[in-house]
Amino acid sequence: FMSIVAIVGRPNVGKSTFFNRLIQRREAIVDAVSGVTRDRHYGKSDWNGKEFSLIDTGGYVKGSEDVFEAEIDRQVELAIDEADAIIFMVEVESGVTGMDEDVAKLLRKSSKPVFLAVNKVDNGQREKDAVEFYSLGFERYYTISSINGSGSGDLLDDIVASL
């Protein structure tokens, strides 16, 4: 039995970029344009000698706002059901959005450990900007850059320790 780690969050926060860094084979497709339909992607990864399955959620359908939100909710519910740990990804460029708050609300009901990963923290100034995400109410708080890899070591250390 292999532990499952799911990455959830609204579109364009960098879930697939992070996923692609961690898995050996590049299966997920990174979209420059938001709202393109994609399936869930599964990959295998390991950290500190511990193997785990990683799920990149991103099957978001372009269409009405309702369908869009409902699909994100569905992915979050699936993650709560099947994952052993959840990475809740947000990003510092746009700050806290309404969609982030909706996802946070669902995740707060979960008994699974939730790791808040504030992505796109590519430099020191962004580190300061990121503190606003404490308002989402998750004590497992990490700042990362999926582009340059910074911060992901601390996040992964704590995730595999929880598995």
Binding residues for GTP: 9-16, 56-60, 119-122
Q: Is 43 in the site for Mg ion (CB under 5 A)?
A: no
Of the candidates 2, 16, 3, 1, the one whose C-alpha atom is nearest the C-alpha of residue 85 is 3
Give min distance, CB of 44 to ligand GDP, in A.
19
Residues in the chain: 163
* Alpha helices per DSSP H over 12-151: 15-22, 65-82, 98-108, 124-129
* Member of 9, 58, 113, 151 binding Mg ion (CB under 5 A): 58
Give min distance, CB of 20 to ligand GDP, in A.
8
Extract the annotated binding site: 9-16, 56-60, 119-122
**Residues 13-52 as x/- pattern, contact with ligand GDP by CB under 6 A:** xxxxx------------xxx--------------------
Beta-carbon contacts of 52 under 8 Å, excluding residues fewer than 6 positions away, are: 2, 3, 4, 5, 44, 45, 46, 84, 160, 163
**Which one of the spans 15-23, 76-84, 97-105, 113-121 is the region binding Mg ion (CB under 5 A)?**
15-23
- What is the radius of gyration, based on Cα positions, of the chain? 14
